[in-house]
Structure 1
Amino acid sequence: MANNYITTTWKGGMKFESDNPSGHNLFIDAGEENGGKGEGYRPKALMLSALAGCSGLDVASLIKKMRLDVDDFDIKIDAELTEEDPKYYHKVDMNFHFKGNKLDEAKLTKAVNLSVEKYCGVMAMFEKFADVKVNIFFNR
């Protein structure tokens, strides 16, 4: 069983620095409205970046393996927090936007579905607490 070990260190105020098994560090901070200086990622938004990054890596790998012709793609997420504390994302819309002149819509749809249904561990975690809807858009 694989384990990850990170250390998150308080830097004063509401700011923290967190390491990562990749060797890269990131800063986490609250916004000014919550006593921080806005000098880092917000923790809940970072979860959405992890979701997009996890699935994006899967899809990028599958694009390569399937030898698909894609000029570019991005993942846009619109997520809604609960109103009661502790606030968490209970609704998540995840939108994949593929760009290119020779998009194979069927294979790209398959790649996205493989990611969200089989490979992306972050998606598996999100599905434990949120209603996640995935949409795919093709832009030629």
Structure 2
Amino acid sequence: MEAKVKWVDGLCFVAESASGHQVVMDGNRGEKGPSPMEMVLMSAGTCSAIDVVSILEKGRHEVRGCEVKLTSTRREEVPRLFTHINLHFIVTGKTLTEKAVERAVSLSAEKYCSVALMLGQAVEITHSHEIIIA
């Protein structure tokens, strides 16, 4: 996997993936785009959500929505590393069961989500979920 990052101005950069997608990131309190640490947090949520939706759909559960609310704590001193991240899944669907959602979240956390598993080497990561039947 490859990517490139190009300085625009100030502390604003444009990152481009090998697939050609671009993202603006800003180290200046997010004035022009998310900060790199916000991108890391959002990446963990997206990676985990992909797993949860895929696992549930493979189990023939009708998923209508999946949202991940991420909360984090960071050190006060530099480097301002994450010390804790919680991923709270809100999964909506008609045929969802507690057992199925719990299994999907656990599989993502323990086996599939590369981003969260990598971060988990240095950060305490917790998971929670709720189900909305609709």
TM-score (norm. length: structure 2): 0.92
CA distance in 2, matches of 1:64, 1:101: 12
Are positions 1:21 and 2:23 aligned together? Answer: no
In structure 2, what is the equivalent of residue 129 of structure 1? Answer: 122
In structure 2, what is the equivalent of residue 66 of structure 1? Answer: 59
Gaps of 5+ in 1: none
The answer to whether the 8 A contact 2:51-2:113 is kept is yes
How far does residue 64 in structure 1 lie from its aligned partner after superposition?
Answer: 1.7
How far does residue 104 in structure 1 lie from its aligned partner after superposition?
Answer: 1.6
Gaps of 5+ in 2: none
Aligned residue for 1:80, secondary structure, equals strand
Higher-strand-fraction structure: 2
Equivalent position amino acid for 1:110 in 2: R
How far does residue 30 in structure 1 lie from its aligned partner after superposition?
Answer: 2.7
CA distance in 2, matches of 1:128, 1:103: 31
How far does residue 63 in structure 1 lie from its aligned partner after superposition?
Answer: 1.8
How far does residue 137 in structure 1 lie from its aligned partner after superposition?
Answer: 1.0
In structure 1, what is the equivalent of residue 5 of structure 2? Answer: 8
| Range moving further from structure 2, 93-102 or 81-90 | 93-102
C-alpha RMSD over aligned residues: 1.4
Aligned residue for 1:71, secondary structure, equals strand
Equivalent position amino acid for 1:127 in 2: G
Aligned residue for 2:33, secondary structure, equals coil
In structure 1, what is the equivalent of residue 38 of structure 2? Answer: 45
Equivalent position amino acid for 2:129 in 1: I
Aligned residue for 1:73, secondary structure, equals strand
